[in-house]
Amino acid sequence: MKEVLLILLAYLIGSVPTAVWVSRSFFGIDIREYGSGNAGATNTFRVLGSKWGTLVMSVDVIKGIVATSLYVLVPYYMHDETERTNFMVGLGLAAVAGHIFPIWADFRGGKGVATLFGMIIAIQPLAAVCCVGVFLLVLYLTRFVSLSSILASVAFAVFILYIFDAKETLYRGFAIAVALMVVLTHQKNITRLLRGSENKVPIFKYRDRRRQRRLDGAQAHQAKGND
């Protein structure tokens, strides 16, 4: 019975609609009416900028960590690693479900990637660090949060199945499910990526400006040389 109540609590924690509350409190808008229409960090980056996007992402990650760590309230799980991991997966998935279908925001939330990442941090920090590396590398090279999320989720499955060789069957299945879920929830983004119409987030803007200035300078020099 206690486990059921904790899973319900994990869902309620995940249901905190960070992006919706931030957009309403500080901008007087509903983030779901702009950009991609999702109440997540990516759309917040796109619509409100990197400052607010970072805030929303951080809180959504913390939601996943806190919800997944609720297992500490049941002493039994402190001494059985397999049962603990399985219960943490259940708690984390409840939080992710809450983020996607938040009871506090008419069941219209985000895609759950940040909360899912918080869940991974709580269960296996080293795998989370590896996924962050993949995410940041792809983000630096492309500035597409959607592509970064997709490749990081696929990398997570590879890490759990082959690099860390996790033994828990439920956890291995979860890793595969994560990759599939992220790909499926990003179908529209994948279509836009293939069409070349996916929006880039406004980060690394100084780097991009320097590149653009160098490109403009090279073009101007080439034009001058052709005169």
Count the neighbouring beta carbons within 10 Å of the beta carbon of residue 98. 28
Average pLDDT estimate for 98-112: 94
Of 45 and 105, the one with more pLDDT: 105
Residue 41 main-chain phi, psi, to 5 deg: -65, -40
Q: Residue 214: pLDDT above 90?
A: no
Distances in Å between the Cα of 104 and the Cα atoms of 12, 212, 220 are 8, 43, 55
Q: Residue 103: pLDDT above 70?
A: yes
DSSP state of 199: P
Q: Do residues 96 and 65 touch, judged by C-beta distance below 8 A? A: no
% of the chain exceeding 70 in pLDDT = 89
pLDDT tens per residue, range 115-174: 999 999 999 899 999 999 999 999 989 888 889 989 999 999 999 999 988 887 888 898
Structure tokens at 127: 């795998």
Q: Residue 95: pLDDT above 80?
A: yes
Burial of 72 (0-12, 13-18, 19+ CB in 10 A): exposed
Query: How sure is the predictor about 220, in pLDDT bands with cuts at 50, 70 and 90?
Result: low
Q: Cα separation of 63 and 114, whole Å? A: 9
Q: Residue 210: pLDDT above 80?
A: no
Nearest Cα residue to 131 out of 77, 184, 182? 182
204: left (phi over 0), alpha (psi -120 to 50) or beta: left
Q: Residue 73: pLDDT above 70?
A: yes
Burial of 158 (0-12, 13-18, 19+ CB in 10 A): middle
pTM exceeds cut of 0.85 = no
pLDDT tens per residue, range 166-202: 887 888 898 998 899 889 888 888 999 999 988 887 6
Distances in Å between the Cα of 106 and the Cα atoms of 43, 72, 101 are 18, 30, 8
- Residues in contact with 42: Cβ distance below 8 Å, sequence separation at least 6, in sequence order: 36, 53, 110, 111, 113, 145, 146, 149, 201
Query: How sure is the predictor about 226, in pLDDT bands with cuts at 50, 70 and 90?
Result: low
Average pLDDT estimate for 97-122: 93
Q: Cα separation of 178 and 136, whole Å? A: 19
Of 6 and 222, the one with more pLDDT: 6
pLDDT at residue 66, as a whole number? 98
Residue 204 main-chain phi, psi, to 5 deg: 60, 30
pLDDT at residue 42, as a whole number? 83
Q: Residue 207: pLDDT above 60?
A: no
Average pLDDT estimate for 52-69: 96
Count the neighbouring beta carbons within 10 Å of the beta carbon of residue 86. 18
pLDDT at residue 224, as a whole number? 59
pLDDT at residue 59, as a whole number? 97
Query: How sure is the predictor about 88, in pLDDT bands with cuts at 50, 70 and 90?
Result: very high
DSSP state of 203: -
